Structure 1
Amino acid sequence: MQKIEFIIDQHLKEMTEHRTDTLSIACYETTIVQNVHRHIPLHWHDELQFVAVLQGTALFHINDQKMILSKGDGIFINSGIMHMAEDHGVSENCIYLCLNLSPHVIMPSDLYIKYVHPYVTATNLPFLYIERANAWGEQILDAVARIRKELVHQVPFYEVNVASAVLNMWKLLIINGYSLEHDPSEMSRNNRMKDMLQWINLNYADPIKLEDIAKAGQLSRSETCRYFKQILKTTPMQYVIEYRIQRSIELLQLSELSITQIAYEVGFNSTSYYINQFRKTMNSTPLRFRRELNKREKEHNSLNYCS
């Protein structure tokens, strides 16, 4: 299963239901540049995520940190953590396996409180880099690949095999991971950031000022700029522009609106300014991008028809 796009709500929460018919687990093979946005946009989800890179190099943005993942290595991303991914380098497209699972499927409920909940809620464990060079890291990354095969082929008792592999992965992670911390100030910072992003996502089509964003996070203007610089490596107003462009991509793909209509629909008050900003972000004009989307859609439908 190739995952090329997903729905993100106004809170930046991914709405995909990550599960099979019987398990709250899903594993996707993801080629970053095949996503409709040409990168994996900023989002978060309740599920835990394990990534194993199969080809190329990816740059993950996780809260206020960046992590470069090369072929063979991977990463664990905790529940509720904001993250995005993009290709890193020009030699080849990055492909990775992405395993998403509900924390509650790891262990029975009587063990969940002791062995899962403290790690899911820890403020010092937003992610954990998984190196194949480490024996425990190699075992976790190999387990992701085995789970992928089990979910694809679904031979008899595959659910038991998946559950066993997940349990062993988690044991390896918590034995080799960090000591746990629960910092109320860090939790507050993350919640303020989510509040500001949620406000932008609800009001992006209207005129927006820095004061509006700061008010949503109950911060001063300077503190708001500092939050965005530290966590997203951009300014609040630049994030607004980039978010408007990402929303315009959905309209380019799913509607027959003109470029001018789309520009005003997502909050730009000038078609030329929209086209200019789109070109800077996507290295293409909106019209050319729409034509490429339509071409890819026709090719995809043609392949499905032939098969």
Structure 2
Amino acid sequence: MKNVHCMTYRSGSKEEMLPNFSPDFPYIASRNEIDRYMGGFVPWHWHKEVELFYMESGILEYYTPKGTVVFPAGTGGLVNSNILHMTRPKEGVKDTTQFLHIFDTSFIGGRQGSRIEQKYIAPLLLAPQAEIIALFPDFPEQARLLKILRDSFELSDKDFAYEVKLRAALSDIWCGLFTLAAPLLKEKTGYDKANDKIKLMMVYIHEHYTEKISVSDIASAGFISVRECFRVFQNCLHVTPAEYLKTYRLQNACQLLAGTPEPVTFIGQACGLGSSSYFGKVFREFTGYTPLEYRRKWQDCDINWQS
């Protein structure tokens, strides 16, 4: 299992990149240390793979365009495929850590079009109303699934038949989640096209944040009007396009400060944050530190994926 406290993105789609993910074993496990993420939160992202998680400690808030779900220690859940989400610890709560299984559903469903995929995977995977399925120990069946989920992280890749045992555990959990989600699957909910629009605009920002870009440029990337752009950002991410752009620039500045020896002036300009004085002002508002203070705090920390 890998300790994780940063995020990288795939080029092109700008989905979260999952290191060590391979076609013959489309699965990774990680221990997510939220407090060690720069800024203390996991920024908005999505991935085709599903995410099963268990809260080891702390209290974590999961945000999606449809709302917020709070997960204290001992709870867990599923984040469905391609769901836009971000997480942050509940205000004032420290030492927030979660265990995650992230996997392509072919790992448990077999090849595309298989009977298992058609009957048990696709109906849940493609249900827009099933963004997040939460598991809480107050309910017996959910408590049973939580125990299987927690125990599954004890499996070791050094054990005999590890891959088979892991797939069995994930399949058992999936069957339980499928049963719990049955009432949701009966609801008639149409796909919200705003999800595609916001992702297109986010991708544009991720690719052009170093440049001078306007809200009109961002709106054009989503093939919508400026007015609609503001509405989609507010409804999905609860910020304006300019606020998201500034935050994304600052997140990249954090990574450069911690991971490179580049001068502060260069980093501010490279991230599209202009002069040293403006960069210093907005950076302190964002992190509570000056750029140099932040560098001293983080530059000796390992911010990459590690064993």
**With structure 2 as the length reference, what TM-score do the two structures score?**
0.90
Give the gaps of 5 or more residues in structure 2: none
Secondary structure (helix, strand or coil) at the match of 1:96 reads: strand
After the TM superposition, which of the residue ranges 275-284 and 5-14 deviates more from structure 2? Answer: 5-14
Distance 1:217 1:251 in 2: 29
Amino acid of the structure 2 residue aligned with 1:160: V
After the TM superposition, list the runs of 4 or more consecutive aligned residues in structure 1 that deviate by more than 6 angstroms: none
Distance 1:185 1:121 in 2: 9
Q: What pairs up with 1:127-206 in 2 under 5 angstroms?
A: 127-150=132-155, 152=156, 154-177=158-181, 178-180=184-186, 185-186=191-192, 188-206=193-211
Distance 1:117 1:219 in 2: 30
1:297 and 1:124, CA in 2 relative to 1: closer, same or farther beyond 3 A? Answer: closer
| Mapped contact 2:46–2:82 kept (Cα < 8 A) | yes
Q: What pairs up with 1:189-228 in 2 under 5 angstroms?
A: 189-228=194-233
Please tell me whether residue 281 in structure 1 is matched to residue 283 in structure 2. Answer: no
1:20 and 1:223, CA in 2 relative to 1: closer, same or farther beyond 3 A? Answer: closer
Secondary structure (helix, strand or coil) at the match of 2:62 reads: strand
Amino acid of the structure 2 residue aligned with 1:179: L
Deviation at 1:226, TM superposition (A): 1.3
1:293 and 1:58, CA in 2 relative to 1: closer, same or farther beyond 3 A? Answer: same
Secondary structure (helix, strand or coil) at the match of 2:4 reads: coil
Secondary structure (helix, strand or coil) at the match of 2:48 reads: coil
Deviation at 1:92, TM superposition (A): 2.6
Deviation at 1:108, TM superposition (A): 3.1
Distance 1:35 1:164 in 2: 32
Secondary structure (helix, strand or coil) at the match of 2:30 reads: strand
- Alignment correspondent of 1:69: 71
1:154 and 1:297, CA in 2 relative to 1: closer, same or farther beyond 3 A? Answer: closer
Secondary structure (helix, strand or coil) at the match of 1:7 reads: coil
After the TM superposition, which of the residue ranges 60-69 and 198-207 deviates more from structure 2? Answer: 60-69
After the TM superposition, which of the residue ranges 174-183 and 39-48 deviates more from structure 2? Answer: 174-183
Amino acid of the structure 1 residue aligned with 2:163: E
Secondary structure (helix, strand or coil) at the match of 1:86 reads: strand
Distance 1:237 1:118 in 2: 37
- Alignment correspondent of 1:2: 3
Q: What pairs up with 1:1-307 in 2 under 5 angstroms?
A: 1-9=2-10, 11-17=13-19, 19=21, 23-109=25-111, 110=114, 111-150=116-155, 152=156, 154-177=158-181, 178-180=184-186, 185-186=191-192, 188-297=193-302
Distance 1:140 1:273 in 2: 50
1:268 and 1:19, CA in 2 relative to 1: closer, same or farther beyond 3 A? Answer: closer
Deviation at 1:91, TM superposition (A): 4.2
Instruction: Determine what percentage of the aligned residue pairs are the same residue.
Output: 22
| Mapped contact 1:122–1:182 kept (Cα < 8 A) | no
| Mapped contact 2:35–2:94 kept (Cα < 8 A) | no
| Aligned length, in residue pairs | 298
Distance 2:260 2:91 in 1: 33
Give the gaps of 5 or more residues in structure 1: none
The Cα offsets for residues 15-59 of structure 1, whole Å up to 9 and x where unpaired, read as 113648963222212220112443212211111101111111011
RMSD between aligned residues: 2.3
The Cα offsets for residues 258-297 of structure 1, whole Å up to 9 and x where unpaired, read as 1111111011222211111111111211111111112335
Secondary structure (helix, strand or coil) at the match of 1:154 reads: coil
Deviation at 1:182, TM superposition (A): 7.2
1:181 and 1:14, CA in 2 relative to 1: closer, same or farther beyond 3 A? Answer: farther
Higher relative contact order (CA 8 A, sep 6+): 2
Deviation at 1:153, TM superposition (A): 5.4
